Amino acid sequence: MTTPRVPGPESTAGTGTIDPELLEELDPASTVDVGTSLWAVVFAGGIGTRFWPISTPDRPKQVLPLVDEQPLIADTLARLAPLVPSSRVLVVTSADIADVLHAAIPDLPRANLLVEPRPLGTAAALAWGAQEISRRAGPRTVFVALHADLAVDYRDAFHDTLRRAAQIASRDPWLVTIGATPTRCEPFFGYLKPGQPLDGFVSIADGGACRVEHFVEKPSLALADTLIAEGALWNTGIFVWQAQTVLDELAARVPEVAHGLPFLAAGDMALFVEHISSSISIDRGLLERSDRVVVLPAAFGWDDVGTWASLRRVRELDDTGNGVIGAVHCVDASGNIVHAERGEIVVYGVSGLLVVCIDGLTFVTTLDRATELGPLIAQLPPHLRVRPGKVPPVA
C-alpha cells in the first residue's frame, strides 16, 4: 500500500506528525506496554454500495481485497495485532453479512462477533461494544474503536500512536481521537480544530495532544478550506477511550441512544434496540456535542477506503499511476483504477478512468463520477443492482 498524500513518520517538520523515535522523549509513559489490557471494537456493518458492482450481499465491502490481497476486515485485525489480539477484539456487524464476515476472520472467537438485529448507527454500536468490554474486562478498560474500511501505513507508528492515546485515556476521562494532517480539501471527512494542549507546552505540531475546540462533520468546500488554513486535522475514525467514559458521554450527550442504555446494561438487547430513537453516528452524536474530545496527531499514513477513487491513494501503483488488479495491460495510460476478475483488459491512451470487469458485467466511468454511485444504481434494472452469487472471490 502506498499513501503518498499522508506525511510519514520521517516527515515531522510542520506536518502535525511525529517521529516514533521521539515518542519516549516527549512522553516517557507512552512506551509503557498498555497492550496487556487494550481492547478494540471494529465497526463492520453494511454491504458497501460505493464499490458496486463487486460488492454484494455475498461478498460485502469488508471482505473485499481492495487495498492488498487480504480482505479489509482481515487487514484491520492484522493491523491491531499483536498490540490487541483477536481474543480482545469485538466486531460489530449486521445480520445479513455476519457469516461471510466471520469466514474472512476465522481466528476471531464467534462470541466476539456482535450482530445487530437491525442497523443501529455507529453511536449505538459503540455503546454495545463499550458495555460488552465493561462486562468482560471492567468499566475502566481502555479500548480502540475504528472502522474496518481504513488504510493505514507504518504499522509500528500506528501502534505507537495507539499506546500514547491509551496512556492519555487511562489517566483521565477523555475521548481521544486520532487526527491526520489534511493534504487536500476533502468535504467528505470530519475536521477537528485543535485548541489548548493538554500538558500546556507540547503543541499539536510537535505531536502533543490537544483539546478539540470544535468538530465539523462533512463541511462545505469553502469551510473545509478555512478549517485547513486554521490547522484543523482530519478525523481518522480511530478513537481511544475508557469503556465507562464512553457510556457516560453517550448517556449525557446522545439522547438518540441514551434511553436504551439502562436496558443494555441489564443485558436486554431487544429493549435496548427498541429504545434507540434514531440512527446516529459517533461523529454527529459524540464528537459534535462533547466537550471531552482530545485529538492526538497520527504518526502513520492514513486514508479512508470509501470509494473507487480512494484506491489510487492506497493501492500499489505502477510507474504511470495506475492501480490494477488482474490481467490488465496499460499502454500510454495513467491514473486509472482497473479491476479485472474475468479475461484480460487493455487500457490505451486514457487517464482518470475506473474499469471493472467481472463475470457478465463491465463497468466504465471516470474516477470523479465514481465517488457516488447511488444515482447510477437507482436507475439500473433490478438484476444489475445486486448480483448475489455471480461474483467469485478474488484469488
* Residue 33 belongs to some domain of the structure: yes
Report residue 56 as a C-alpha cell: 454484494
Q: How far apart are CA 378 and CA 361, in angstroms?
A: 17
Q: Note whether 152 and 167 are same-domain residues.
A: yes
pLDDT value at 300 more than 50: yes
* Residue 13 belongs to some domain of the structure: no
Distance of CA 395 to the CA centre of its chain: 25
Report residue 85 as a C-alpha cell: 489480539
Query: Angle 7-168-86 (CA atoms, 0-180°, nearest 5)?
Result: 75
In this prediction, residue 201 carries a pLDDT of: 67
pLDDT value at 7 more than 60: no
Pairing of strands 302-304, 210-217: unpaired
Q: How far apart are CA 304 and CA 180, in angstroms?
A: 11
For every residue of 344-380, DSSP letters joined together read -EEEES-BSEEEEEETTEEEEEETTGGG--HHHHHHS
- Whole-model pTM? 0.85
Comparing 134 with 184, the larger pLDDT belongs to 134
pLDDT value at 349 more than 90: yes
If we measure between CA atoms, which residue out of 34, 38, 299 comes closest to residue 152? 299
Pairing of strands 210-217, 323-325: unpaired
In this prediction, residue 47 carries a pLDDT of: 78
* Residue 392 belongs to some domain of the structure: no
Q: Note whether 352 and 285 are same-domain residues.
A: no
pLDDT band at residue 79 under the 50/70/90 scheme: very high
> Are 108 and 77 contacting, i.e. CB atoms less than 8 angstroms apart?
yes
* Residue 167 belongs to some domain of the structure: yes
In this prediction, residue 386 carries a pLDDT of: 65
Q: What percent of the chain has pLDDT over 90?
A: 68
pLDDT band at residue 143 under the 50/70/90 scheme: very high
Q: What percent of the chain has pLDDT over 70?
A: 88
pLDDT band at residue 316 under the 50/70/90 scheme: confident
Q: Which domain holds residue 338?
A: 308-371
- Written as one letter, the residue type at 221 is L
Q: For the residues 189-193, what does the mean pLDDT come to?
A: 95
pLDDT band at residue 391 under the 50/70/90 scheme: very low
How many structural domains are present in the chain? 2
For residue 31, CA distances in Å to 157, 162, 228 come to 12, 11, 31
Q: Note whether 171 and 315 are same-domain residues.
A: no
Q: Note whether 155 and 270 are same-domain residues.
A: yes
pLDDT value at 389 more than 70: no
Q: Note whether 312 and 300 are same-domain residues.
A: no
Q: Give the CATH number for residue 213.
A: 3.90.550.10
* Residue 59 belongs to some domain of the structure: yes
* Residue 84 belongs to some domain of the structure: yes
* Residue 378 belongs to some domain of the structure: no
Q: For the residues 265-276, what does the mean pLDDT come to?
A: 95
In this prediction, residue 320 carries a pLDDT of: 94
Q: Note whether 335 and 268 are same-domain residues.
A: no
In this prediction, residue 281 carries a pLDDT of: 95
Q: Note whether 194 and 321 are same-domain residues.
A: no
Residue that terminates a domain, selected from 260, 287, 304: 304
In this prediction, residue 321 carries a pLDDT of: 94
Residue that terminates a domain, selected from 304, 327, 350: 304
pLDDT value at 20 more than 50: no
DSSP reduced 3-state for 73: helix
Residue that terminates a domain, selected from 287, 304, 321: 304
Q: Note whether 193 and 315 are same-domain residues.
A: no
Q: Note whether 279 and 188 are same-domain residues.
A: yes
Q: Note whether 198 and 117 are same-domain residues.
A: yes
Comparing 184 with 29, the larger pLDDT belongs to 184
For residue 257, CA distances in Å to 123, 153, 291 come to 7, 34, 18
Q: Tell me the average pLDDT of the chain.
A: 87
pLDDT value at 387 more than 60: no
* Residue 365 belongs to some domain of the structure: yes
In this prediction, residue 56 carries a pLDDT of: 83
Q: Note whether 332 and 210 are same-domain residues.
A: no
How crowded is residue 3: how many other Cβ atoms within 10 Å of its Cβ?
20
Q: Note whether 341 and 223 are same-domain residues.
A: no
